[in-house]
Amino acid sequence: MSRAVPEQKPTWRTGTAPGIFPLLGHGIALYRRPLAFLNSLPAHGDLVEIRLGPQRAWMVCHPELTHEVLMDPHTFDKGGPLYDRLGKLMGDGLVTCRRPTHRAKRRLLQPAFRPSHAAAYTDLVTEEAESVCHGWRTGRTVPVTEAMMTLTTRVISRVLLSDSLDDTTTAEVRDCLTDVVRGLFVRTVVPIDALFRLPTPANRRYRHALTRLHAIIDTAIAERRRGPDRDDVLGTLLAAARGEGGAPPITDQEVHDHLITLLLTGVEAPALCLADAFSLLARHPEAERRLHAELDAVLPGGRRPGRDDLPHLVRTRCVVAETLRHSSPGWLFTRVATRETELAGCRLPAGATVLYSPYLLHHDPASFPDPERFDPDRWLPGRAGAAQRRALMPFSAGNRKCLGDEFAMVEATLALATIAGRRRLRHVPGYVEQPPRPAITLGPRALVMACEARSRASDSRTAGDHVVDNA
Ligand code: HEM
């Protein structure tokens, strides 16, 4: 039986996760087998106490309770040592800022990523998607994750900075982002600064990558100030720095922090989502065949998708939605109680860490029957119930919901349609799915696949494969 939206306040179950190690708490389980650990928690309650090192923390394991936390930013804000550390690396941008300054920052950036605006990026995304798969040859292997990182880096840098970065600098940004995102996770979960001052190759790589990213952004800002205005996110930020638009001017540091935050958030998650989609499709031939049938019907002859095609790429969007459910790149997030409060009947002290995990919510059989099964049809129009739609939270919810949610959906749908319309990717012989290595995001970090010619689905199409309904 799947879960329904409760009509009245439910009686919450609370508990404590077993297996607390002295000093390390559940840190080892979370690091060594993060997904199995998360999947084990709902059995212990809707709100489950865990230990992060010696500290108590509470994991919300029910979608409605998660909404309760996310819809109350006065009580559950970003904050605590984790965000203090992230703030040192990313500045005071949209991800790390606290509630009092959040609204103004969000209002400034929102227009560029508004759902009605997302389709305006169609040509940009399809051009870049075509360009990354252009050189793929049948029978050769393709570094899929790297190619998707190239694609999403080029897309976000054009959205933020138009054509300010040349190809070499864009590739450098991609490589720096990979090193920084990898290093960010350990720096936020292991609070021992001395470790990261050691001259190890990993520390040197991280420091170099962060320094280069900051320098590339500073150069782009300085060059724009010397040249003409452009209608992009940097243009919006510089207008805000000049005090245009009525709000108090933002500082140069804020311009910089916004750009680095958007680069750090806008590249890896959509790239991992796309890499995961190709990996999952290769393991689920029926889902792949139906996707191809839609692409051949909507985009005959491998035509490049345009803005008007988006409403007809129903199954393609379902593949993206199901990939985000099955293999959500954003897997674990925290909030801090700003005051003593009650959650699920438990008293939480001021400063308490509350965690939520899209991965956990998406793999709870109470919300999604047979959760390990990759089944894009779950998201066909009219199929999913209200409770399932509420439990699907790859982009979070509430005022800190992903700024780029619709942009990322459009980007991934168009990129998938463009690439899968031209090429078919298969796992190489001997491929074994690797257990995920925890980082800020989860996903296949070094996926390599084999490229095959794409047979037209019209050869084997069965009635009903192409969904006309675009509700
Ligand atoms: C598949 C792709 C993506 C996924 C799964 C994803 C997921 C998320 C999640 C779960 C959050 C909330 C984090 C929290 O609760 O602490 C978030 C926030 C955010 N995301 Fe994304 N994201 C994606 C793509 C993007 C893109 C393309 C951008 C670039 C515009 C972006 C920019 C942001 C920003 C700026 C925030 C902070 C929003 C705020 O606090 O107001 N994301 N994202």
* Residue 28, number of CB atoms within 10 A of its CB: 12
Pairwise CA distance, residues 324 & 409, whole Å: 10
CB atoms under 10 Å from CB of 414, counted, come to: 31
pLDDT beyond 90 at 326: yes
Q: Ligand 1: which of 263, 402, 414, 440 to mutate, most ligand atoms within 8 Å of CB?
A: 402
Nearest CA to ligand 1 atom 23: 269
Atom number, ligand 1, closest to the C-alpha of residue 409: 1
Q: From the CA of 70, give the closest atom in ligand 1.
A: 15
Angle separating helix axes 405-420 and 314-326, nearest 10 degrees? 120
- What's the pLDDT tens digit per position in 98-141? 999 999 999 999 999 988 888 889 999 999 999 999 999 999 99
Q: Which residues line ligand 1 (CB under 6 A)?
A: 94-95, 106, 113, 261-262, 265-266, 269-270, 273, 324, 329-330, 333, 394-396, 400, 402-404, 407-408
pLDDT at residue 89, rounded to an integer: 80
Q: Record the tokens describing residue 417, joined without a space.
A: 């349609």
Q: In terms of pLDDT, which residue wins out, 72 or 27?
A: 72
Rounded distance, CA 158 to CA 167, Å? 11
**For ligand 1, atom 1: residue with the closest CA:** 270
Cβ within 8 Å of residue 361, ≥6 positions away:
61, 63, 66, 367, 391, 393
What ipTM was assigned to the predicted interfaces of this complex? 0.99
Per-residue CA distances from 275 to 80, 328, 394, 419 (Å) = 33, 12, 16, 11
Average pLDDT score over residue span 407-425? 97
* Average pLDDT over all residues of the chain: 91
- How high is the pLDDT of residue 195? 83
Distance 129 CA to ligand 1 centre (A): 21
Q: In whole angstroms, what is the distance from residue 152 CA to residue 125 CA?
A: 8
Among protein residues, the one with the nearest Cα to ligand 1's atom 14 is 333
Nearest CA to ligand 1 atom 18: 402
Residue nearest to atom 41 of ligand 1 (CA): 400
Pocket-testing residue among 152, 265, 360, ligand 1, by greatest number of atoms within 8 A of Cβ: 265
Atom of ligand 1 nearest to the CA of 333: 16
Mutate to test the pocket of ligand 1, among 90, 403, 406, 416 (most ligand atoms within 8 A of CB): 403
Model's pTM, two decimal places? Answer: 0.94
CB 422 within 8 A of CB 36: no
Query: Contact, 5 vs 387, CB < 8 A?
Result: yes
Residue whose CA is at the smallest distance from ligand 1 atom 19? 402
State the closest ligand 1 atom to the C-alpha of 272, by its place in the atom list counted from 1: 1
Q: Atom 30, ligand 1: which residue's CA is nearest?
A: 404
User: What pLDDT sits at residue 466?
Assistant: 53
- State which ligand 1 atom lies nearest to the alpha carbon of 335: 16
Q: Which atom of ligand 1 is nearest to the CA of 113?
A: 30
Q: Whose CA is nearest to atom 27 of ligand 1?
A: 266
Using left for φ > 0, alpha for ψ between -120 and 50, and beta otherwise, residue 152 falls in alpha
Q: Please tell me the distance between residue 260's alpha carbon and the centre of ligand 1 in angstroms.
A: 13
Q: Which residue's CA lies nearest to atom 43 of ligand 1?
A: 402
Ligand 1 atom nearest to CA at 102: 41
**What pLDDT shows up at residue 456?**
66
Distance of CA 443 to the CA centre of its chain: 10
Contacts of 54 (CB under 8 A, 6+ apart): 23, 25
Q: Which atom of ligand 1 is nearest to the CA of 262?
A: 29
Tell me the two tokens of residue 15.
Answer: 């508990």
Largest pairwise CA distance in the chain: 64
Q: In angstroms, rounded to a whole number, what is the distance separating the alpha carbons of residues 408 and 411?
A: 5
Residue whose CA is closest, atom 31 of ligand 1?
A: 404
Q: Ligand 1 mean position to 264 CA, how many Å?
A: 10
What is the Å distance from ligand 1's center to 266 Cα? 7
pLDDT digits (tens, 9 = 90+) for 71-89: 999 999 999 877 888 888 8
Residue bearing the CA closest to ligand 1, atom 16: 333
* Predicted local confidence at residue 27, as pLDDT: 78
Q: Which range (14-23, 125-134, 197-206) has the least confidence?
A: 14-23
pLDDT reported for residue 459? 45
Q: What share of the chain is helix, strand, coil (3-state, %, to 5)?
A: 55, 10, 35
- Identify the band that residue 470 occupies on the pLDDT scale cut at 50, 70 and 90: very low
Please give the radius of gyration of the chain, using alpha carbons only, rounded to the nearest integer: 22
Q: Cα–Cα distance between 61 and 13 in angstroms, integer?
A: 10
Say how many C-beta atoms besides its own lie within 10 A of residue 120's C-beta: 14
Residue 18 Cα to ligand 1 middle (Å)? 32
How many angstroms separate the alpha carbon of residue 95 from the centre of ligand 1?
8
Which secondary-structure segment (H or E) carries 67? helix 63-70
Tokens of 34: 């993060």
pLDDT, position 284: 97
d(CA 154, CA 133): 14
By the 8 A CB rule, do 318 and 287 touch? no
Closest C-alpha residue for ligand 1 atom 11:
402
| Predicted confidence (pLDDT) at residue 460 exceeds the cutoff of 60 | no
